[in-house]
Amino acid sequence: MRGNHCWILLQVSFKLVLEVDPSVVKETRILLQTSTEHALSLLVVDNGSGCVIDEYFNDGNIDKAFNVFEEIREKGIACSIMTYNLVINE
């Protein structure tokens, strides 16, 4: 797609509102579908291990807490901000 034929007017959570030139609607749809499918497959966020890490820190098991953190990162899972805060604050 060349030129200025598509504009993002609004983004709310995972939804986009676009203004698209009628001549590129089909091309824009394909581009967005492809882009979002690949983006979602690459982004996996950890939502539960922070609690496990926090419990290990609270119990004084610092090595176990860091081991869980490293396992998450080695698997390619993005840690939540709360998980990073737990690790940084220790």
Please provide the distance, in angstroms rounded to a whole number, between the alpha carbons at the two ends of the chain: 49
Is residue 39 very low, low, confident or very high in pLDDT (cuts 50, 70, 90)? low
Cα–Cα distance for residue pair 28/42, rounded to 1 Å:
21
Cα–Cα distance for residue pair 48/68, rounded to 1 Å:
11
**Would you tell me how many other CB atoms lie within 10 Å of the CB of residue 72?**
20
Q: Give the model confidence (pLDDT) of 9-24 as tens digits.
A: 766 666 777 788 888 8
Q: Give the model confidence (pLDDT) of 40-57 as tens digits.
A: 544 455 666 777 888 888
Q: Identify which of 34-38, 44-48, 84-88 has the greatest average pLDDT.
A: 84-88
Mention every residue, 6+ apart, whose C-beta is less than 8 A from residue 79: 45, 46, 49, 50, 69, 72, 73
Q: pTM score, two decimals?
A: 0.47
Cα–Cα distance for residue pair 13/15, rounded to 1 Å:
6
Q: Where are the domains of the chain?
A: 6-42, 49-89
